[in-house]
A and B are shown apart, each in its own frame.
Chain A
Amino acid sequence: MNLIRATLTRTLPAEYIKLRHTLTLWLALLAPLMVVTLCVLAIVMRQKLPAAVTGAASEAWQRHLMGITYLWTGMMLPLMIALQAAWLAALEHNGAQWKQLLAQPVPRSAHYLAKLLVLLGLLLLSQLILVLLMPLSGWLMAWLRPAITTHGAPPWRFIARIGVQSLLACGLMVVIQFWAALRWRSFTAAIGLGMAGTVASFLIMQSKYGLWFPWSMPTQVLVNRPGIAAQVSWLGAGGLLVLGTLALMQLARREID
Protein backbone atom coordinates (compact mmCIF):
# COMPACT_ATOMS: atom_id res chain seq x y z
CA MET A 1 0.00 0.00 0.00
CA ASN A 2 1.55 3.28 -1.01
CA LEU A 3 1.57 6.45 1.02
CA ILE A 4 -1.06 8.35 -0.99
CA ARG A 5 -3.50 5.44 -1.07
CA ALA A 6 -3.09 4.77 2.65
CA THR A 7 -3.61 8.45 3.40
CA LEU A 8 -6.73 8.78 1.27
CA THR A 9 -8.39 5.52 2.25
CA ARG A 10 -7.30 5.10 5.86
CA THR A 11 -5.69 7.93 7.77
CA LEU A 12 -7.63 10.84 6.26
CA PRO A 13 -11.08 9.29 6.99
CA ALA A 14 -9.82 8.54 10.51
CA GLU A 15 -8.79 12.19 10.92
CA TYR A 16 -12.25 13.26 9.84
CA ILE A 17 -13.84 11.24 12.65
CA LYS A 18 -11.41 12.72 15.18
CA LEU A 19 -12.49 16.26 14.26
CA ARG A 20 -16.03 15.68 15.51
CA HIS A 21 -16.91 17.59 18.68
CA THR A 22 -13.80 19.76 18.35
CA LEU A 23 -13.53 23.51 17.86
CA THR A 24 -11.32 23.29 14.78
CA LEU A 25 -14.16 23.60 12.28
CA TRP A 26 -15.76 26.42 14.26
CA LEU A 27 -12.48 28.30 14.33
CA ALA A 28 -12.11 27.89 10.56
CA LEU A 29 -15.59 29.39 10.10
CA LEU A 30 -15.49 32.13 12.73
CA ALA A 31 -11.96 33.52 12.22
CA PRO A 32 -12.62 35.10 8.78
CA LEU A 33 -16.08 36.21 9.92
CA MET A 34 -14.55 37.98 12.90
CA VAL A 35 -11.95 39.79 10.78
CA VAL A 36 -14.52 40.98 8.25
CA THR A 37 -16.96 42.05 10.99
CA LEU A 38 -14.23 44.10 12.72
CA CYS A 39 -13.30 45.79 9.44
CA VAL A 40 -16.92 46.61 8.65
CA LEU A 41 -17.59 47.97 12.14
CA ALA A 42 -14.37 50.02 12.07
CA ILE A 43 -15.77 51.95 9.08
CA VAL A 44 -19.53 52.08 9.58
CA MET A 45 -19.30 53.05 13.26
CA ARG A 46 -17.36 56.19 12.46
CA GLN A 47 -19.21 59.51 12.74
CA LYS A 48 -17.19 60.99 9.91
CA LEU A 49 -16.48 58.50 7.18
CA PRO A 50 -12.96 58.52 5.68
CA ALA A 51 -12.75 60.06 2.26
CA ALA A 52 -11.30 56.85 0.84
CA VAL A 53 -14.62 55.01 1.19
CA THR A 54 -16.88 57.77 0.01
CA GLY A 55 -15.09 58.65 -3.22
CA ALA A 56 -14.76 56.58 -6.33
CA ALA A 57 -16.15 53.04 -6.01
CA SER A 58 -12.88 51.41 -7.07
CA GLU A 59 -10.96 53.33 -4.41
CA ALA A 60 -13.54 52.47 -1.73
CA TRP A 61 -13.39 48.77 -2.58
CA GLN A 62 -9.60 48.88 -2.58
CA ARG A 63 -9.52 50.53 0.86
CA HIS A 64 -12.00 48.05 2.32
CA LEU A 65 -10.44 44.91 0.85
CA MET A 66 -6.89 45.95 1.77
CA GLY A 67 -8.01 46.55 5.35
CA ILE A 68 -9.48 43.06 5.56
CA THR A 69 -6.44 41.46 3.94
CA TYR A 70 -4.00 43.28 6.21
CA LEU A 71 -5.80 42.22 9.39
CA TRP A 72 -6.27 38.69 8.08
CA THR A 73 -2.76 37.99 6.81
CA GLY A 74 -0.95 40.02 9.46
CA MET A 75 -2.65 38.70 12.56
CA MET A 76 -5.59 36.32 12.34
CA LEU A 77 -4.17 33.90 9.78
CA PRO A 78 -0.85 33.21 11.58
CA LEU A 79 -2.60 32.85 14.94
CA MET A 80 -5.28 30.61 13.47
CA ILE A 81 -2.70 28.36 11.80
CA ALA A 82 -0.78 28.05 15.09
CA LEU A 83 -3.95 27.20 16.99
CA GLN A 84 -5.30 24.72 14.42
CA ALA A 85 -1.94 22.92 14.17
CA ALA A 86 -1.65 22.74 17.96
CA TRP A 87 -5.19 21.41 18.31
CA LEU A 88 -4.70 18.75 15.66
CA ALA A 89 -1.49 17.62 17.32
CA ALA A 90 -2.97 17.76 20.82
CA LEU A 91 -5.58 15.18 19.77
CA GLU A 92 -2.74 12.67 19.66
CA HIS A 93 -0.42 14.08 22.34
CA ASN A 94 -3.09 14.31 25.05
CA GLY A 95 -4.23 10.70 25.02
CA ALA A 96 -0.76 9.32 24.23
CA GLN A 97 -2.24 8.15 20.95
CA TRP A 98 0.96 7.83 18.97
CA LYS A 99 1.78 4.39 20.26
CA GLN A 100 -1.62 3.12 19.15
CA LEU A 101 -1.53 4.92 15.79
CA LEU A 102 1.98 3.94 14.83
CA ALA A 103 1.36 0.29 15.64
CA GLN A 104 -1.26 0.19 12.87
CA PRO A 105 -0.49 -1.44 9.51
CA VAL A 106 -0.23 1.78 7.51
CA PRO A 107 2.88 3.74 6.53
CA ARG A 108 3.91 5.93 9.43
CA SER A 109 4.08 9.05 7.29
CA ALA A 110 0.42 8.51 6.25
CA HIS A 111 -0.66 9.64 9.74
CA TYR A 112 1.33 12.86 9.46
CA LEU A 113 0.37 13.52 5.83
CA ALA A 114 -3.32 13.19 6.76
CA LYS A 115 -2.85 15.75 9.55
CA LEU A 116 -1.11 18.16 7.19
CA LEU A 117 -3.90 17.75 4.64
CA VAL A 118 -6.53 18.42 7.32
CA LEU A 119 -4.67 21.56 8.39
CA LEU A 120 -4.48 22.74 4.77
CA GLY A 121 -8.14 21.87 4.27
CA LEU A 122 -9.19 23.96 7.27
CA LEU A 123 -7.06 26.80 6.00
CA LEU A 124 -8.59 26.55 2.54
CA LEU A 125 -12.07 26.62 4.07
CA SER A 126 -11.25 29.80 6.03
CA GLN A 127 -9.76 31.40 2.94
CA LEU A 128 -12.85 30.58 0.86
CA ILE A 129 -15.11 32.07 3.52
CA LEU A 130 -12.96 35.19 3.63
CA VAL A 131 -13.09 35.58 -0.15
CA LEU A 132 -16.86 35.11 -0.06
CA LEU A 133 -17.28 37.67 2.72
CA MET A 134 -15.17 40.30 1.00
CA PRO A 135 -17.79 41.46 -1.56
CA LEU A 136 -20.70 40.70 0.79
CA SER A 137 -19.24 42.95 3.48
CA GLY A 138 -18.70 45.77 0.99
CA TRP A 139 -22.32 45.63 -0.12
CA LEU A 140 -23.45 45.46 3.51
CA MET A 141 -21.49 48.63 4.33
CA ALA A 142 -23.00 50.45 1.37
CA TRP A 143 -26.46 49.36 2.52
CA LEU A 144 -25.87 50.41 6.15
CA ARG A 145 -24.26 53.76 5.22
CA PRO A 146 -25.32 54.77 1.71
CA ALA A 147 -22.49 57.32 1.62
CA ILE A 148 -20.01 54.46 1.39
CA THR A 149 -19.38 53.68 -2.26
CA THR A 150 -18.70 49.95 -2.09
CA HIS A 151 -21.67 49.11 -4.24
CA GLY A 152 -21.76 47.60 -7.64
CA ALA A 153 -19.24 45.02 -8.84
CA PRO A 154 -16.25 44.54 -6.55
CA PRO A 155 -12.76 44.11 -8.06
CA TRP A 156 -13.08 40.36 -8.63
CA ARG A 157 -9.57 39.94 -9.99
CA PHE A 158 -8.07 41.61 -6.93
CA ILE A 159 -10.14 39.39 -4.60
CA ALA A 160 -9.14 36.24 -6.49
CA ARG A 161 -5.48 37.24 -6.56
CA ILE A 162 -5.39 38.05 -2.85
CA GLY A 163 -7.28 34.85 -2.01
CA VAL A 164 -4.92 32.59 -3.95
CA GLN A 165 -1.62 34.35 -3.28
CA SER A 166 -2.06 34.83 0.46
CA LEU A 167 -3.00 31.14 0.71
CA LEU A 168 0.13 30.07 -1.15
CA ALA A 169 2.33 32.55 0.71
CA CYS A 170 1.49 31.04 4.10
CA GLY A 171 2.75 27.57 3.04
CA LEU A 172 6.09 27.91 4.78
CA MET A 173 4.48 29.14 7.99
CA VAL A 174 2.00 26.22 7.86
CA VAL A 175 4.70 23.62 7.61
CA ILE A 176 6.79 25.14 10.42
CA GLN A 177 3.80 25.34 12.76
CA PHE A 178 2.74 21.83 11.78
CA TRP A 179 6.16 20.38 12.48
CA ALA A 180 6.56 22.23 15.79
CA ALA A 181 3.12 21.16 17.01
CA LEU A 182 3.80 17.50 16.25
CA ARG A 183 7.44 17.49 17.31
CA TRP A 184 6.82 18.82 20.81
CA ARG A 185 4.07 17.61 23.09
CA SER A 186 3.59 21.02 24.63
CA PHE A 187 0.55 22.91 23.38
CA THR A 188 2.12 26.10 24.75
CA ALA A 189 5.30 25.64 22.69
CA ALA A 190 3.37 25.51 19.41
CA ILE A 191 1.13 28.43 20.32
CA GLY A 192 4.10 30.38 21.70
CA LEU A 193 5.95 29.94 18.42
CA GLY A 194 2.93 31.19 16.50
CA MET A 195 2.53 34.24 18.74
CA ALA A 196 6.24 35.06 18.65
CA GLY A 197 6.25 34.74 14.86
CA THR A 198 3.18 36.96 14.53
CA VAL A 199 4.57 39.69 16.78
CA ALA A 200 7.96 39.55 15.05
CA SER A 201 6.26 39.81 11.66
CA PHE A 202 4.89 43.25 12.61
CA LEU A 203 8.47 44.43 13.04
CA ILE A 204 9.86 42.63 10.04
CA MET A 205 7.13 42.93 7.41
CA GLN A 206 8.13 46.49 6.37
CA SER A 207 11.82 45.64 6.13
CA LYS A 208 13.62 43.93 3.27
CA TYR A 209 13.52 40.70 5.27
CA GLY A 210 9.73 40.63 5.25
CA LEU A 211 9.86 38.68 2.03
CA TRP A 212 11.72 35.84 3.70
CA PHE A 213 10.14 35.71 7.12
CA PRO A 214 7.47 32.95 7.05
CA TRP A 215 5.01 34.78 9.32
CA SER A 216 5.13 38.01 7.29
CA MET A 217 5.11 36.41 3.83
CA PRO A 218 1.29 36.41 3.46
CA THR A 219 1.17 40.17 4.15
CA GLN A 220 3.65 40.76 1.32
CA VAL A 221 0.90 40.02 -1.23
CA LEU A 222 -0.30 43.57 -0.50
CA VAL A 223 3.05 45.16 -1.38
CA ASN A 224 2.60 47.40 -4.35
CA ARG A 225 5.74 46.44 -6.21
CA PRO A 226 5.78 44.24 -9.29
CA GLY A 227 6.69 40.61 -8.74
CA ILE A 228 6.68 40.65 -4.93
CA ALA A 229 3.30 38.95 -4.48
CA ALA A 230 4.20 36.27 -7.02
CA GLN A 231 7.57 35.76 -5.38
CA VAL A 232 6.19 35.14 -1.88
CA SER A 233 3.51 32.88 -3.35
CA TRP A 234 6.13 30.69 -5.02
CA LEU A 235 8.31 30.75 -1.92
CA GLY A 236 5.42 29.71 0.28
CA ALA A 237 4.21 26.94 -2.01
CA GLY A 238 7.73 25.68 -2.66
CA GLY A 239 8.54 25.80 1.05
CA LEU A 240 5.43 23.80 1.81
CA LEU A 241 6.41 21.11 -0.67
CA VAL A 242 10.07 20.86 0.23
CA LEU A 243 9.94 21.43 3.99
CA GLY A 244 6.66 19.52 4.19
CA THR A 245 8.31 16.45 2.67
CA LEU A 246 11.29 16.78 5.02
CA ALA A 247 8.98 17.24 8.02
CA LEU A 248 6.99 14.11 7.12
CA MET A 249 10.21 12.12 6.76
CA GLN A 250 11.58 13.36 10.07
CA LEU A 251 8.34 12.80 11.97
CA ALA A 252 7.86 9.32 10.53
CA ARG A 253 11.31 8.28 11.79
CA ARG A 254 10.57 9.47 15.31
CA GLU A 255 10.58 6.96 18.13
CA ILE A 256 7.67 6.79 20.52
CA ASP A 257 8.64 6.78 24.18
Chain B
Amino acid sequence: MDWAIRSHQLNRRFDGGKGVHGLDLEVPAGQVYGFLGRNGAGKTTTIRLLLGLLRADEGTVTLLGKPLDWRRREALAQVGAMVEAPSLYAHLSGHQNLAIACRLRGLPYTEIERTLQQVELSDDAQRRVGTYSLGMRQRLGVALALLGQPPLLILDEPTNGLDPSGVIAMRDLLRRLSSEHGFTIFLCSHLLSEVEQVATQLGMLEAGRLRFQGSIETLRAQFPDALRVRVDDTVTALAVMRGAGQQAQLIDEGCLEIAAPSLPDHAINRLLVEAGHAVSAVGRHRHSLEDMFLSLTADTQEAA
Protein backbone atom coordinates (compact mmCIF):
# COMPACT_ATOMS: atom_id res chain seq x y z
CA MET B 1 0.00 0.00 0.00
CA ASP B 2 1.15 3.58 -0.71
CA TRP B 3 1.35 5.61 2.47
CA ALA B 4 0.95 9.37 2.46
CA ILE B 5 2.07 9.66 6.07
CA ARG B 6 3.97 7.13 8.12
CA SER B 7 5.44 7.68 11.51
CA HIS B 8 7.40 5.17 13.50
CA GLN B 9 7.45 5.26 17.28
CA LEU B 10 7.08 9.01 17.32
CA ASN B 11 7.66 10.43 20.78
CA ARG B 12 7.59 13.91 22.15
CA ARG B 13 7.27 14.55 25.84
CA PHE B 14 6.42 17.81 27.56
CA ASP B 15 6.55 18.70 31.22
CA GLY B 16 3.82 16.97 33.17
CA GLY B 17 3.93 13.87 30.96
CA LYS B 18 1.91 15.40 28.14
CA GLY B 19 2.88 14.93 24.51
CA VAL B 20 2.66 11.99 22.14
CA HIS B 21 3.99 8.54 22.85
CA GLY B 22 4.98 5.77 20.45
CA LEU B 23 2.86 7.05 17.58
CA ASP B 24 2.79 4.71 14.56
CA LEU B 25 0.63 6.63 12.11
CA GLU B 26 -0.24 4.99 8.80
CA VAL B 27 -2.24 7.18 6.48
CA PRO B 28 -3.02 5.55 3.12
CA ALA B 29 -2.61 7.75 0.04
CA GLY B 30 -5.78 9.12 -1.55
CA GLN B 31 -7.91 8.74 1.58
CA VAL B 32 -9.48 11.16 4.04
CA TYR B 33 -7.97 10.28 7.39
CA GLY B 34 -9.90 11.61 10.36
CA PHE B 35 -7.58 12.24 13.29
CA LEU B 36 -9.73 12.40 16.38
CA GLY B 37 -9.08 13.29 19.94
CA ARG B 38 -10.24 15.48 22.73
CA ASN B 39 -8.71 18.89 23.37
CA GLY B 40 -5.26 18.28 24.80
CA ALA B 41 -5.02 14.72 23.49
CA GLY B 42 -1.96 15.62 21.40
CA LYS B 43 -3.50 16.24 17.96
CA THR B 44 -1.83 19.57 17.33
CA THR B 45 1.48 18.30 18.74
CA THR B 46 1.26 15.45 16.23
CA ILE B 47 0.64 17.88 13.38
CA ARG B 48 3.59 20.01 14.46
CA LEU B 49 5.78 16.95 14.52
CA LEU B 50 4.56 15.93 11.05
CA LEU B 51 5.46 19.37 9.69
CA GLY B 52 8.80 19.58 11.47
CA LEU B 53 7.73 22.53 13.62
CA LEU B 54 8.62 20.48 16.70
CA ARG B 55 11.49 18.04 16.96
CA ALA B 56 10.67 14.51 18.01
CA ASP B 57 12.47 13.06 21.02
CA GLU B 58 12.45 9.74 19.16
CA GLY B 59 10.92 8.29 16.04
CA THR B 60 10.66 9.13 12.37
CA VAL B 61 8.17 10.73 9.99
CA THR B 62 7.87 9.99 6.28
CA LEU B 63 5.64 12.10 4.03
CA LEU B 64 4.81 10.52 0.66
CA GLY B 65 7.96 8.47 0.83
CA LYS B 66 10.25 11.36 1.80
CA PRO B 67 11.80 11.21 5.28
CA LEU B 68 11.17 14.49 7.06
CA ASP B 69 14.49 14.35 8.92
CA TRP B 70 16.84 14.51 5.99
CA ARG B 71 14.64 15.45 3.01
CA ARG B 72 12.60 18.11 4.77
CA ARG B 73 12.14 20.47 1.83
CA GLU B 74 11.18 17.73 -0.62
CA ALA B 75 8.77 16.30 1.94
CA LEU B 76 7.17 19.67 2.71
CA ALA B 77 6.90 20.59 -0.99
CA GLN B 78 4.17 17.95 -1.24
CA VAL B 79 2.21 19.19 1.75
CA GLY B 80 -0.34 21.95 2.21
CA ALA B 81 -1.12 22.64 5.82
CA MET B 82 -3.29 24.66 8.12
CA VAL B 83 -2.32 24.42 11.78
CA GLU B 84 -4.95 25.60 14.28
CA ALA B 85 -6.21 29.07 13.30
CA PRO B 86 -5.17 30.20 9.82
CA SER B 87 -1.97 32.25 9.75
CA LEU B 88 -2.86 35.43 7.87
CA TYR B 89 -1.51 38.96 7.46
CA ALA B 90 -4.49 41.10 8.47
CA HIS B 91 -3.10 44.29 6.87
CA LEU B 92 -2.94 42.66 3.43
CA SER B 93 -5.66 41.49 1.06
CA GLY B 94 -6.62 37.87 0.57
CA HIS B 95 -4.89 37.99 -2.82
CA GLN B 96 -1.68 39.34 -1.30
CA ASN B 97 -1.72 36.68 1.42
CA LEU B 98 -1.86 34.02 -1.27
CA ALA B 99 0.81 35.85 -3.29
CA ILE B 100 3.20 35.53 -0.33
CA ALA B 101 2.59 31.79 -0.16
CA CYS B 102 3.06 31.55 -3.95
CA ARG B 103 6.41 33.28 -3.66
CA LEU B 104 7.50 30.99 -0.83
CA ARG B 105 6.50 27.84 -2.68
CA GLY B 106 7.81 29.03 -6.05
CA LEU B 107 4.38 28.89 -7.69
CA PRO B 108 2.98 31.06 -10.49
CA TYR B 109 0.36 33.69 -9.55
CA THR B 110 -2.19 31.90 -11.76
CA GLU B 111 -2.58 29.52 -8.82
CA ILE B 112 -4.13 32.32 -6.78
CA GLU B 113 -7.28 32.77 -8.85
CA ARG B 114 -7.83 29.04 -9.19
CA THR B 115 -7.55 28.54 -5.44
CA LEU B 116 -9.72 31.54 -4.61
CA GLN B 117 -12.45 30.06 -6.81
CA GLN B 118 -12.15 26.72 -5.04
CA VAL B 119 -12.88 28.31 -1.67
CA GLU B 120 -15.35 30.83 -3.15
CA LEU B 121 -13.43 33.94 -2.13
CA SER B 122 -12.82 35.47 -5.58
CA ASP B 123 -15.18 38.40 -4.94
CA ASP B 124 -13.44 39.37 -1.70
CA ALA B 125 -9.88 38.78 -2.84
CA GLN B 126 -8.91 42.46 -2.89
CA ARG B 127 -10.34 43.26 0.55
CA ARG B 128 -8.10 43.52 3.59
CA VAL B 129 -8.10 40.27 5.56
CA GLY B 130 -8.66 42.33 8.73
CA THR B 131 -12.21 42.93 7.49
CA TYR B 132 -12.93 39.23 6.82
CA SER B 133 -15.35 37.22 8.92
CA LEU B 134 -14.07 34.22 10.86
CA GLY B 135 -15.47 31.87 8.23
CA MET B 136 -13.78 33.76 5.40
CA ARG B 137 -10.47 33.64 7.23
CA GLN B 138 -10.90 29.92 7.68
CA ARG B 139 -11.54 29.48 3.96
CA LEU B 140 -8.53 31.61 3.10
CA GLY B 141 -6.46 29.42 5.44
CA VAL B 142 -7.61 26.37 3.50
CA ALA B 143 -6.81 28.20 0.24
CA LEU B 144 -3.24 28.71 1.49
CA ALA B 145 -2.99 24.97 2.01
CA LEU B 146 -4.45 24.23 -1.43
CA LEU B 147 -2.00 26.43 -3.38
CA GLY B 148 -0.11 24.36 -5.90
CA GLN B 149 -2.44 21.39 -5.38
CA PRO B 150 -0.14 19.49 -3.03
CA PRO B 151 -1.03 15.79 -2.92
CA LEU B 152 -1.20 15.81 0.87
CA LEU B 153 -3.29 18.22 2.93
CA ILE B 154 -2.89 18.46 6.69
CA LEU B 155 -5.80 20.41 8.11
CA ASP B 156 -6.28 21.17 11.76
CA GLU B 157 -9.92 21.93 12.63
CA PRO B 158 -10.79 23.42 9.21
CA THR B 159 -14.46 23.93 10.10
CA ASN B 160 -13.74 26.06 13.18
CA GLY B 161 -15.77 29.24 13.08
CA LEU B 162 -17.79 28.29 10.01
CA ASP B 163 -21.56 28.70 9.98
CA PRO B 164 -23.67 25.63 9.08
CA SER B 165 -23.63 26.40 5.36
CA GLY B 166 -19.88 27.00 5.54
CA VAL B 167 -19.42 23.66 7.28
CA ILE B 168 -21.37 21.91 4.51
CA ALA B 169 -19.39 23.73 1.82
CA MET B 170 -16.10 22.77 3.49
CA ARG B 171 -17.22 19.16 3.79
CA ASP B 172 -18.14 19.10 0.09
CA LEU B 173 -14.82 20.67 -0.83
CA LEU B 174 -12.86 18.06 1.14
CA ARG B 175 -14.88 15.23 -0.40
CA ARG B 176 -14.32 16.65 -3.88
CA LEU B 177 -10.59 17.12 -3.35
CA SER B 178 -10.27 13.53 -2.28
CA SER B 179 -12.58 11.87 -4.80
CA GLU B 180 -11.91 14.01 -7.89
CA HIS B 181 -8.30 15.02 -7.39
CA GLY B 182 -7.03 12.10 -5.35
CA PHE B 183 -5.69 14.29 -2.51
CA THR B 184 -4.83 12.64 0.77
CA ILE B 185 -6.41 14.64 3.56
CA PHE B 186 -5.26 14.35 7.14
CA LEU B 187 -8.19 15.94 8.90
CA CYS B 188 -7.72 16.73 12.53
CA SER B 189 -10.80 17.51 14.56
CA HIS B 190 -12.60 17.09 17.83
CA LEU B 191 -15.97 17.29 16.01
CA LEU B 192 -16.62 13.60 15.59
CA SER B 193 -19.86 13.98 13.66
CA GLU B 194 -18.07 16.14 11.07
CA VAL B 195 -15.27 13.67 10.59
CA GLU B 196 -17.71 10.78 10.38
CA GLN B 197 -19.24 12.31 7.27
CA VAL B 198 -16.03 12.68 5.24
CA ALA B 199 -13.39 10.32 6.57
CA THR B 200 -12.69 6.86 5.21
CA GLN B 201 -9.86 6.14 7.65
CA LEU B 202 -9.63 7.01 11.31
CA GLY B 203 -7.03 7.50 13.97
CA MET B 204 -8.17 8.01 17.54
CA LEU B 205 -5.78 9.67 19.91
CA GLU B 206 -6.15 9.75 23.65
CA ALA B 207 -3.57 11.07 26.09
CA GLY B 208 -0.94 11.06 23.36
CA ARG B 209 -1.47 7.43 22.32
CA LEU B 210 -3.28 5.97 19.33
CA ARG B 211 -6.29 3.97 20.55
CA PHE B 212 -7.50 2.97 17.12
CA GLN B 213 -6.26 3.25 13.57
CA GLY B 214 -7.85 1.81 10.48
CA SER B 215 -10.82 2.03 8.17
CA ILE B 216 -14.29 2.94 9.37
CA GLU B 217 -15.41 -0.58 8.40
CA THR B 218 -12.80 -2.11 10.69
CA LEU B 219 -13.99 0.11 13.51
CA ARG B 220 -17.62 -0.78 12.89
CA ALA B 221 -16.73 -4.47 12.98
CA GLN B 222 -15.53 -3.90 16.55
CA PHE B 223 -18.86 -2.32 17.44
CA PRO B 224 -21.62 -4.40 15.85
CA ASP B 225 -25.09 -2.90 15.71
CA ALA B 226 -27.12 -3.29 18.88
CA LEU B 227 -30.76 -4.29 19.05
CA ARG B 228 -33.21 -1.97 20.78
CA VAL B 229 -36.49 -3.33 22.01
CA ARG B 230 -39.46 -1.33 23.30
CA VAL B 231 -41.31 -3.42 25.82
CA ASP B 232 -43.99 -2.90 28.54
CA ASP B 233 -42.08 -4.22 31.56
CA THR B 234 -38.36 -3.64 31.20
CA VAL B 235 -37.36 -5.20 34.54
CA THR B 236 -38.66 -8.69 33.80
CA ALA B 237 -37.78 -8.39 30.10
CA LEU B 238 -34.18 -7.65 31.14
CA ALA B 239 -34.16 -10.86 33.19
CA VAL B 240 -35.57 -12.84 30.25
CA MET B 241 -32.86 -11.55 27.92
CA ARG B 242 -30.06 -12.19 30.37
CA GLY B 243 -31.51 -15.63 30.98
CA ALA B 244 -31.18 -16.25 27.25
CA GLY B 245 -27.50 -15.29 27.41
CA GLN B 246 -27.88 -11.83 25.86
CA GLN B 247 -25.91 -8.75 26.99
CA ALA B 248 -28.92 -6.59 27.71
CA GLN B 249 -29.09 -3.25 29.47
CA LEU B 250 -31.72 -0.68 30.24
CA ILE B 251 -31.53 2.39 28.02
CA ASP B 252 -34.53 4.28 29.35
CA GLU B 253 -37.94 3.54 30.73
CA GLY B 254 -39.52 1.07 28.30
CA CYS B 255 -36.40 0.40 26.21
CA LEU B 256 -33.75 -2.31 26.37
CA GLU B 257 -30.57 -2.52 24.37
CA ILE B 258 -28.96 -5.83 23.52
CA ALA B 259 -25.34 -5.37 22.47
CA ALA B 260 -24.16 -7.79 19.77
CA PRO B 261 -27.16 -10.12 20.00
CA SER B 262 -26.38 -13.78 19.40
CA LEU B 263 -29.96 -14.51 18.27
CA PRO B 264 -31.82 -13.15 15.22
CA ASP B 265 -34.17 -10.22 15.83
CA HIS B 266 -37.33 -12.35 15.33
CA ALA B 267 -36.10 -14.95 17.86
CA ILE B 268 -35.61 -12.26 20.50
CA ASN B 269 -39.06 -10.90 19.76
CA ARG B 270 -40.57 -14.40 20.12
CA LEU B 271 -38.76 -14.99 23.44
CA LEU B 272 -40.22 -11.81 24.90
CA VAL B 273 -43.73 -12.44 23.55
CA GLU B 274 -43.70 -16.03 24.86
CA ALA B 275 -42.70 -14.63 28.28
CA GLY B 276 -45.88 -12.56 28.18
CA HIS B 277 -44.44 -9.16 27.23
CA ALA B 278 -46.02 -6.66 24.91
CA VAL B 279 -43.29 -5.72 22.41
CA SER B 280 -44.02 -2.45 20.63
CA ALA B 281 -40.82 -2.07 18.58
CA VAL B 282 -37.67 -3.98 17.66
CA GLY B 283 -34.93 -2.21 15.72
CA ARG B 284 -31.25 -2.13 15.00
CA HIS B 285 -29.19 0.70 16.51
CA ARG B 286 -26.00 1.76 14.75
CA HIS B 287 -23.29 3.16 17.02
CA SER B 288 -22.24 6.67 16.27
CA LEU B 289 -18.56 7.54 15.99
CA GLU B 290 -18.99 9.36 19.28
CA ASP B 291 -20.18 6.18 21.02
CA MET B 292 -17.25 4.23 19.62
CA PHE B 293 -14.75 6.92 20.52
CA LEU B 294 -16.06 7.14 24.08
CA SER B 295 -15.97 3.40 24.40
CA LEU B 296 -12.38 3.16 23.14
CA THR B 297 -11.19 5.88 25.45
CA ALA B 298 -13.31 4.93 28.46
CA ASP B 299 -10.37 3.78 30.61
CA THR B 300 -8.57 7.13 30.26
CA GLN B 301 -11.73 9.03 31.12
CA GLU B 302 -12.23 6.91 34.20
CA ALA B 303 -8.62 7.44 35.27
CA ALA B 304 -9.11 11.18 34.82
- B105 near A104: Cβ-Cβ < 8 Å: yes
Question: B83, B84, B100: which contacts A17 (Cβ < 8 A)?
Answer: B100
Expressed in whole angstroms, the minimum distance between the Cβ of B83 and any Cβ of chain A is 5
Measured between beta carbons, the chain B residues less than 8 angstroms from A13 are 103
Question: B51, B53, B73: which contacts A106 (Cβ < 8 A)?
Answer: B73
Number of A interface residues at 8 Å Cβ cutoff, please give it: 29
Number of B interface residues at 8 Å Cβ cutoff, please give it: 33
Measured between beta carbons, the chain B residues less than 8 angstroms from A255 are 53-55
Chain A 106-122, CB-CB to B under 8 Å as 1, else 0, gives: 11000000000000000
Measured between beta carbons, the chain B residues less than 8 angstroms from A94 are 90
Question: A1, A14, A256: which contacts B53 (Cβ < 8 A)?
Answer: A256
Instruction: List B residues 94-137 near A (Cβ within 8 Å).
Output: 96, 99-101, 103-106, 128
- A107 near B51: Cβ-Cβ < 8 Å: no
| Contacts known (A10-B104, A99-B48, A105-B73); A256 close to B54, Cβ less than 8 A | yes
A173-B91 Cα distance, complex, nearest whole Å = 29
Question: A11, A18, A91, A105: which contacts B76 (Cβ < 8 A)?
Answer: A105
* Interface flag for B260 (CB, 8 Å): no
* Interface flag for A100 (CB, 8 Å): yes
Expressed in whole angstroms, the minimum distance between the Cβ of A8 and any Cβ of chain B is 11
- A18 near B100: Cβ-Cβ < 8 Å: yes
A99-B52 Cα distance, complex, nearest whole Å = 10
A251-B274 Cα distance, complex, nearest whole Å = 77
- B77 near A100: Cβ-Cβ < 8 Å: no
* Interface flag for A245 (CB, 8 Å): no
* Interface flag for B74 (CB, 8 Å): yes
Measured between beta carbons, the chain B residues less than 8 angstroms from A17 are 92, 96, 99-100, 103
Measured between beta carbons, the chain A residues less than 8 angstroms from B128 are 21
Question: B72, B84, B92, B106: which contacts A10 (Cβ < 8 A)?
Answer: B106
Measured between beta carbons, the chain A residues less than 8 angstroms from B144 are 100
- B52 near A103: Cβ-Cβ < 8 Å: yes
* Interface flag for B236 (CB, 8 Å): no
- A105 near B100: Cβ-Cβ < 8 Å: no
Measured between beta carbons, the chain B residues less than 8 angstroms from A14 are 100, 103-104
Could you pull out 8 A-B pairs where Cβ atoms are within 8 angstroms? A18-B100, A20-B96, A22-B91, A95-B88, A103-B76, A105-B73, A105-B76, A256-B48
Residues of B in contact with A (beta carbons under 8 Å apart): 48, 51-55, 72-74, 76-77, 79, 81, 83-92, 96, 99-101, 103-106, 128, 144
